[in-house]
């Protein structure tokens, strides 16, 4: 860090280098976040700014007590998180651990598992629509139910479409986690494993007692990413059926209240604030861990 | 370790088949003419394969327009993000001043928010910002590329600043201090010493950002209303409505949409994976 005195012109240059990005960030991220909080306590139709009326906590009360899709959306977000945390993320970690052992064809496997990561969630939704279609889809044809009355409409049936969407999401998420974790494993000090082997630890003991604890930093990152992805879930449910009929999610309810007919900005903002408050948990955990170590 | 690994290989082969099945099914569906699938069904190996669906989807699905729109958004957004992030990262990592860590924390946090949290105020801000009709057919910032680009830049800025500042911190302090003693100003230190050394991180982030912005669905969906202004990822969603029940055309459209991301990924695979893991390894 430079402690030498800076000239006047250098100070101006530095001020611009900091000022422009900070201004962009402030106007388009921080101020809108604060405005969301403000708007959640008002009633507004989005027309003239002078129409904004204070509304106290009524938007929150309405969302929690009288808005039918609210609790289903909360439940779906919780299921989303549980599915990613208990199935998709562990699967990605498992793939990374297996592929880290210099297996023949490891690179080809890595490419295969990684391919969905570069697809947009819109494409993931479209591709899985082709797999899940009732009579013409891959899955029901493999199961032998296509064309029979027993065929499941995987994306259409509100009892199963959440799970169908989660499988499609996991297809992409696991590959993402695999790449992150594999990079962490490759960066691990090899002497750790050698020491464990000399001490007589078997493969399982080395993995659980030596490797995983040494990967603390990546573990935190993976947990945070899993949490945030679950809260951000939007695209795939929107592509399937605009987040209705079994696929309600908080993020989608926010948007349904903001645009289109029946625009209720106050309620949409109240939902956005609830989403914000929950999101702050993993964000703060991550920031505290990251920046405490740095300082 | 020389123990047999049949179990491991079986697991990997099974998973790989599971992973490839949706992709191969899509490709196969796209290659079969509609008439053939109508006759034999989708679950069948009979009938010829050809590229007709690709040319039909390309012309009827407005794909060329969507692709050009994606370029209009992605190229300026990625360049601006990297330029602003590099400047900010330089200032927070090479100099100590009162709020540098606080600002870096706020930048990083901003990137992690769900975008829907900011949607209403941004939408209303843009709706209430008048623009001359020569610049915007809506008379406001809504339905313009400026709005989409600005928000994409702001939203990606935090992550890029975080990654680049970690990278710049690893460059020896002596480099810029020697330059300072030699009378090089702050801008020259940035432009001629730090920036060239940051090239690997910029390449990695640039590749990652191109794919991310190309894949972004939400911001264009929120801000753009005119159908022929949509970028490909938001536009391709319309294909499902346009080619109802014609899975062959939908599959062909989806396959075409994957190709640019696939090319970028294959050409710059090393950078892309490095970009994904840059933020993870240091930090």
Is position B215 within any domain?
yes
Take residue A83 and report the two structure tokens written for it.
């599915």
- Confidence (pLDDT) at A221: 87
- Confidence (pLDDT) at B136: 82
Q: Quick one: what percent of chain A has pLDDT higher than 90? A: 52
Mean of per-residue pLDDT scores for chain B: 88
Q: Return left, alpha or beta for A200; rule: phi > 0 is left, psi -120 to 50 is alpha, else beta.
A: left
- Confidence (pLDDT) at A264: 85
Is position B3 within any domain?
no
- Which of B95, B113, B194, B281 is the best residue to mutate to test the A interface, defined by the most A CB atoms within 10 Å of its own CB? B113
- Domain extent listing, chain A: 74-247
Least-confidence region, from A110-119, A248-257, B31-40, B189-198: B31-40
Which chain A residues have a beta carbon less than 8 Å from that of B239? 126
Which chain B residues have a beta carbon less than 8 Å from that of A282? 112
- Each residue of A26-47: b (16+ CB within 10 Å) or e? eebbbebbebbbebbbbbbebe
Q: Return left, alpha or beta for B250; rule: phi > 0 is left, psi -120 to 50 is alpha, else beta.
A: alpha
Neighbour count for residue A154 (Cβ, 10 Å): 23
- Position with higher pLDDT, B30 vs A102: B30
* DSSP SS3 for B140: strand
- Confidence (pLDDT) at B283: 34
Q: Which of residues 162-221 of A touch B (CB under 8 A)?
A: 171, 175-176, 179-180, 183-184, 187, 203, 217-218, 221
Question: Any CB–CB contact under 8 A between A14 and chain B?
Answer: yes
Question: How far is residue B71 from each of residues B65, B203, B210, B242, measured CA to CA in Å?
Answer: 10, 18, 10, 23
Question: How far is residue B279 from each of residues A201, A217, B162, B276, measured CA to CA in Å?
Answer: 32, 11, 8, 7
Question: How far is residue B254 from each of residues A150, B64, B87, B225, B274, measured CA to CA in Å?
Answer: 29, 13, 38, 22, 27
- Position with higher pLDDT, B261 vs A71: A71
pTM of the predicted structure, to 2 decimals: 0.90
Is position B54 within any domain?
no
Closest CA to B166 of B111, B110, B108: B108
Is position B203 within any domain?
yes
Q: What is the mean pLDDT of residues A235-264?
A: 86
- Confidence (pLDDT) at B224: 93
Residues B24-33: contacts with CB under 8 Å, at least 24 apart = B25/A130, B25/A131, B25/A138, B26/A127, B26/A130, B26/B251, B26/B254, B26/B255, B27/B251, B27/B255, B29/A130, B29/B247, B29/B248, B29/B251, B30/B54, B30/B248, B30/B251, B30/B252, B30/B254, B30/B255, B32/B248, B33/B248
**Residue B139: φ, ψ to 5°:** 75, 0
Determine, for residues B41 and A136 on separate chains, whether the beta-carbon distance falls below 8 Å.
Answer: yes
d(CA B118, CA B110) in angstroms, rounded, equals 10
User: Closest residue of A to B210, CA-based?
Assistant: A118
Q: DSSP secondary structure string, B30-69?
A: HHS-HHHHHHH-SS---S---SHHHHHHHHHTTHHHHHHH
Closest Cα in chain B, distance from residue A53 (Å)? 16
Contacts of B113 (CB under 8 A, 6+ apart): A29, A33, A276, A279, A283
Q: What is the mean pLDDT of residues A214-242?
A: 90
Mean of per-residue pLDDT scores for chain A: 89
d(CA A129, CA A241) in angstroms, rounded, equals 11
- Are B115 and A32 in contact by the 8 Å Cβ rule? The answer is no
Give the one of B20, B155, B283 whose C-beta lies nearest to A112's C-beta: B20
Is position B114 within any domain?
yes
Q: What is the mean pLDDT of residues A99-128?
A: 90
* The CATH number fitting domain A74-247, selected from 3.30.1330.10, 1.10.3720.10, 1.20.1630.10, 1.10.10.10: 1.10.3720.10
Which chain A residues have a beta carbon less than 8 Å from that of B41? 136
Q: Band the pLDDT of A292: cuts 50, 70, 90.
A: confident
- Confidence (pLDDT) at A1: 46
User: CATH code at B132?
Assistant: 1.10.3720.10
Which chain B residues have a beta carbon less than 8 Å from that of A128? 22
Least-confidence region, from A154-168, A188-202, B211-225: A188-202
d(CA A279, CA A231) in angstroms, rounded, equals 7
- Which of A8, A81, A130 is the best residue to mutate to test the B interface, defined by the most B CB atoms within 10 Å of its own CB? A130
d(CA A1, CA B149) in angstroms, rounded, equals 33
B86-143: per-residue pLDDT in tens? Answer: 999 999 988 888 888 889 899 989 888 999 999 989 999 998 888 888 888 888 899 9
Q: What is the number of structural domains in chain B?
A: 1
Q: Band the pLDDT of A262: cuts 50, 70, 90.
A: low
Q: Which of residues 250-269 of B touch A (CB under 8 A)?
A: 250-251, 254, 257-258, 261-262, 265
Question: How far is residue A45 from each of residues B58, B115, B220, measured CA to CA in Å?
Answer: 40, 21, 22
Q: Which of residues 165-194 of B touch A (CB under 8 A)?
A: 173, 176-177, 180-181, 185-187, 190
Q: Band the pLDDT of B185: cuts 50, 70, 90.
A: confident
């Amino acid at each position: 860090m430079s402690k030498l005195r800076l000239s006047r012109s250098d100070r101006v240059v530095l001020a611009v280098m900091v000022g422009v990005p900070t201004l962009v960030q402030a106007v388009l991220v921080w101020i809108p976040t604060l405005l969301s909080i403000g708007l959640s306590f008002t009633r507004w139709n989005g027309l003239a700014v002078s129409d904004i009326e204070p509304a106290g906590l009524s938007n929150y009360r309405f969302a929690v007590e009288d808005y039918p899709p609210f609790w289903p959306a909360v439940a779906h977000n919780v299921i989303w998180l549980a599915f990613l945390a208990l199935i998709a993320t562990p699967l990605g970690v498992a793939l990374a651990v297996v592929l880290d052992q210099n297996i023949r064809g490891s690179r080809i496997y890595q490419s295969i598992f990684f391919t969905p990561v570069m697809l947009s969630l819109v494409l993931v939704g479209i591709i899985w629509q082709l797999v899940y279609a009732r009579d013409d889809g891959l899955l029901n044809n493999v199961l032998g139910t296509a064309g029979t009355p027993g065929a499941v409409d995987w994306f259409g049936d509100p009892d199963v479409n959440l799970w169908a969407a989660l499988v499609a999401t996991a297809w992409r998420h696991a590959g993402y986690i695999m790449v992150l974790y594999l990079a962490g494993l490759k960066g691990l000090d090899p002497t750790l494993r050698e020491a464990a082997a000399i001490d007589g630890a078997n493969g399982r003991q080395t993995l659980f007692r030596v490797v995983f604890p040494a990967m603390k930093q990546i573990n935190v990152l993976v947990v945070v990413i899993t949490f945030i992805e679950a809260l951000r879930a939007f695209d795939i449910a929107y592509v399937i059926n605009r987040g209705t009929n079994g696929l309600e999610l908080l993020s989608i309810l926010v948007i349904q209240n903001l645009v289109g007919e029946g625009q209720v900005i106050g309620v949409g903002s109240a939902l956005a604030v609830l989403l914000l408050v929950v999101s702050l948990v993993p964000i703060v955990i991550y920031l505290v861990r990251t920046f405490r170590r740095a300082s | 370790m020389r123990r047999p690994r049949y179990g491991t290989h079986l697991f990997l082969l099974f998973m790989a088949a599971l992973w490839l099945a949706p992709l191969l099914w899509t490709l196969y569906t796209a290659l079969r003419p509609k008439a053939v699938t109508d006759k034999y069904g989708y679950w069948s190996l009979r009938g010829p394969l050809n590229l007709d669906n690709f040319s039909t989807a390309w012309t009827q699905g407005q794909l060329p327009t969507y692709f050009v729109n994606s370029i209009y958004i992605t190229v300026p957004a990625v360049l601006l993000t990297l330029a602003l992030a590099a400047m900010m990262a330089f200032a927070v990592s090479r100099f100590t001043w009162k709020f540098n860590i606080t600002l870096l924390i706020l930048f990083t946090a901003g990137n992690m928010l769900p975008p829907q949290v900011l949607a209403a105020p941004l939408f209303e801000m843009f709706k209430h910002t008048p623009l001359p009709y020569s610049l915007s057919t809506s008379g406001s910032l809504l339905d313009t590329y400026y709005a989409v680009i600005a928000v994409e830049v702001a939203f990606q800025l935090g992550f890029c600043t975080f990654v680049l500042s970690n990278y710049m911190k690893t460059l020896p302090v002596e480099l810029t201090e020697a330059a300072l003693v030699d009378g090089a100003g702050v801008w020259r230190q940035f432009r001629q010493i730090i920036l060239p050394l940051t090239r690997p991180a910029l390449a990695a982030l640039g590749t990652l950002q191109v794919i991310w912005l190309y894949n972004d669905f939400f911001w264009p969906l929120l801000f753009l209303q005119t159908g022929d202004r949509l970028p490909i990822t938001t536009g391709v969603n319309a294909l499902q409505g346009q080619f109802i029940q014609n899975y062959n055309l939908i599959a062909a459209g989806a396959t075409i949409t994957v190709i640019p991301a696939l090319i970028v990924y294959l050409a710059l695979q090393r950078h892309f994976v490095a970009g994904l893991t840059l933020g993870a390894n240091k930090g």
